[in-house]
Structure formats: structure tokens, C-alpha cells
């Protein structure tokens, strides 16, 4: 019983850490540009498939190669998508709906392209690190440890970027006051595209990390989209710290509900939590009012 609970807690922590990475990406786009990305889940699957491709074709089968190749590809992809699909809509009054629509179309396009190219069957990825730490009944796989460290490391690195680099400061400036950012000469369009690209990298990395545990499927991203969404809304849209806390709460909740009642109940439980939060505190845990 006790070891079971510990297992559940560990699983909640590991998933929570990856969710945090992905939710921070989503909250970033929303906080900076108020754009809503329906294709976020498809970018998650894309990360998984990129890793699968690298393992299939590259000479060196190593996760280091995967990350080094996937990160720039995802960044470039996100950048292009923002420039081509989202940026032209910004001039319109109803751009919010239009962005939701176009990203939804993109999601359908990508998911089905994955299905045509890779087939509907699940793809599995090798574990990033074999072996485990054992003490009696208690088992902690090294894979989980690495996933945890990488996602938390990713978030910390991103925080460092926001606080200590010129571009990071420009990103925060646009999020806090777009008009002020324009006045000091910050290229807003570039910041929008860059944040979109960074968030694509974050969710794609999340895809690579989680695919080792849960396989890659063409439409596996929808679940992730809704979870990241729930986490950002729960934590407060635009608040990075909020999403961090919310991600761990959601990870834990999911693990415990799944353990006690079965996996079909996890989404329902998440939805219940979301609704309760939004009714009691519409701006989320850490979001600002209005």
C-alpha cells in the first residue's frame, strides 16, 4: 500500500514536471500575444515523431542527437507557422476567433499527415536511461529521474532567459505593456513569432520526454492540449509560477484519480477542478484580474 502510494506520487511528480514545461509554453503565447493555439497538441506529437525519425535514420542513436536536432527544427517550424498563419490575422478585429480556427485547421492537417506518414499504430521510443534505483519494494527508474531533471531544468533555463537576456526582457515587456514596448523600439512582430517558436520547442520537448513512457500516436496531442489548457487556466493565464504549481497539482490529481478510479475518470476530475476554480476564482490561482 505504502509503496503503491509512493509510486503514484512519483508518477504524479514526473508527469507534473513535463506538464509544467508544456503549460509554461502555452501560457507564454497567451500572455505575450493573447493568441490561442489549438495546434499545440499536434506540436507535442510532432516532437515524438521527430525523435522516432532520428532513432530510425540517424547514425548515432542517442537522445543528445535527438534534442540537438529537434530543438532547432521545432523552433524554426513554430516561427514559420506564426509568421505565415497567425501574424497576417492580427490586423483584424476578430483575430482571436480567426486564430483559433486556423490553428484548429492546422491541427487536423498535422494529425492526419502524421497518420499518413507514420501509420495509425503507436510508436515507441527507447528509454533515455536504462536501469533503476531499488530499495526493497521501492523502485525509482533512472528514466523518470532524467525526465524530471530535464523538464525542471528546461523551465529554469527559460526563466533565466526571461530575466537575464535582452530578448527575454523584451518578451516580458510586450506581455506587460505592448504599447510601451513599441515606444522603446521593441519589434513586437519578432517577439510574437519568437515566443510562438519557443513554446513550440517546449511542447515538442515535452512530447519527446513523455513519448518514452506513453508512446507516440497521431492524435495523442489532444489530451495534452486540454491538460496544458486546464493547467494554464487553473494557474492563471500568463502566470508562469501559477502554471508551475498547477501542473504539479494536476499531475498528482491525475495520478491519484487514475490509481483509485481508473484512467477514464482523470479527464472528468480535471474538468471538475477547472470548473470549480473558474467559478470561485476566474483569474486562476496566480492570474491577474481582468
Interface with another protein (CB under 8 A) = 30, 34, 36, 85, 88-89, 92, 94, 96-98, 100-102, 104-113, 115-116, 166, 169-170, 172-173, 176-177, 179-187, 219, 222-223, 226, 229-230, 233, 237, 264-265, 267-268, 271, 274-275, 278-279, 282
Minimum CB distance to another protein smaller for 63 or for 229: 229
Taking the complex as a whole, the smallest distance from the CB of residue 120 to another protein amounts, in Å, to 9
Minimum CB distance to another protein smaller for 62 or for 98: 98
Minimum CB distance to another protein smaller for 71 or for 106: 106
User: Dihedral angle at the C-alpha atoms of 273, 275, 276, 279, nearest 10 degrees?
Assistant: 160
Place of cell 514545461: 21
What are the E-state strand segments in the chain?
132-135, 138-141
Whole-angstrom Cα distance, residue 64 to residue 33?
32
Whole-angstrom Cα distance, residue 194 to residue 77?
11
Grid coordinates belonging to 9: 506520487
**209: enclosing H helix or E strand:** helix 188-214
Taking the complex as a whole, the smallest distance from the CB of residue 278 to another protein amounts, in Å, to 6
Taking the complex as a whole, the smallest distance from the CB of residue 239 to another protein amounts, in Å, to 11
Minimum CB distance to another protein smaller for 10 or for 39: 39
Contact yes or no for 28/195 (Cβ under 8 A): yes
As a residue count, the chain comes to 290
Minimum CB distance to another protein smaller for 68 or for 278: 278
Establish how many alpha carbons lie within 13 A of residue 224's alpha carbon, considering only the half-sphere containing its beta carbon.
Answer: 39
Taking the complex as a whole, the smallest distance from the CB of residue 207 to another protein amounts, in Å, to 18
Minimum CB distance to another protein smaller for 5 or for 101: 101
DSSP assigned state of 84: I
Taking the complex as a whole, the smallest distance from the CB of residue 179 to another protein amounts, in Å, to 5
Taking the complex as a whole, the smallest distance from the CB of residue 114 to another protein amounts, in Å, to 10
The neighbour count for residue 62, using CB atoms within 10 Å, is: 14
Minimum CB distance to another protein smaller for 85 or for 145: 85
- Distance between the two ends of the chain, CA-based, in angstroms? 45
The neighbour count for residue 50, using CB atoms within 10 Å, is: 22
**33: enclosing H helix or E strand:** helix 2-33
Taking the complex as a whole, the smallest distance from the CB of residue 161 to another protein amounts, in Å, to 14
Find the farthest-apart pair of alpha carbons in the chain and give their distance in angstroms, rounded. 62
Taking the complex as a whole, the smallest distance from the CB of residue 84 to another protein amounts, in Å, to 8
Minimum CB distance to another protein smaller for 11 or for 228: 228
Amino acid at each position: 500500500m505504502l509503496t503503491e502510494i509512493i509510486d503514484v506520487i512519483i508518477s504524479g511528480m514526473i508527469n507534473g514536471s513535463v506538464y509544467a514545461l508544456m503549460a509554461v509554453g502555452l501560457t507564454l503565447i497567451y500572455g505575450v500575444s493573447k493568441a490561442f493555439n489549438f495546434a499545440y497538441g499536434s506540436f507535442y506529437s510532432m516532437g515524438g515523431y521527430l525523435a522516432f525519425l532520428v532513432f530510425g535514420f540517424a547514425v548515432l542513436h542517442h537522445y543528445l542527437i535527438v534534442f540537438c536536432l529537434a530543438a532547432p527544427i521545432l523552433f524554426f517550424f513554430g516561427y514559420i507557422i506564426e509568421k505565415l498563419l497567425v501574424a497576417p490575422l492580427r490586423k483584424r478585429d476578430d483575430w482571436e476567433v480567426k486564430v483559433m480556427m486556423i490553428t484548429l485547421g492546422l491541427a487536423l492537417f498535422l494529425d492526419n499527415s502524421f497518420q499518413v506518414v507514420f501509420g495509425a499504430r503507436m510508436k515507441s521510443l527507447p528509454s533515455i536511461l536504462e536501469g533503476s534505483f531499488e530499495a526493497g519494494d521501492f523502485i525509482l527508474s533512472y528514466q523518470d529521474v532524467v525526465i524530471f531533471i530535464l523538464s525542471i531544468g528546461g523551465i529554469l533555463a527559460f526563466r533565466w532567459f526571461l530575466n537575464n537576456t535582452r530578448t527575454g526582457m523584451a518578451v516580458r515587456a510586450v506581455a506587460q505593456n505592448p504599447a510601451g514596448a513599441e515606444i522603446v523600439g521593441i519589434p513586437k512582430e519578432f517577439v510574437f513569432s519568437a515566443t510562438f517558436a519557443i513554446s513550440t520547442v517546449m511542447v515538442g520537448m515535452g512530447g519527446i520526454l513523455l513519448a518514452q513512457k506513453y508512446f507516440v500516436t497521431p492524435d495523442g496531442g489532444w489530451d495534452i492540449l486540454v491538460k496544458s489548457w486546464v493547467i494554464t487556466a487553473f494557474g492563471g493565464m500568463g502566470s508562469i509560477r501559477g502554471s508551475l504549481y498547477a501542473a504539479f497539482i494536476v499531475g498528482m490529481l491525475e495520478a491519484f484519480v487514475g490509481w483509485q478510479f481508473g484512467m477514464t475518470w482523470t479527464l472528468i476530475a480535471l474538468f471538475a477542478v477547472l470548473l470549480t476554480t473558474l467559478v470561485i476564482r476566474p483569474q486562476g490561482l496566480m492570474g491577474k484580474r481582468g
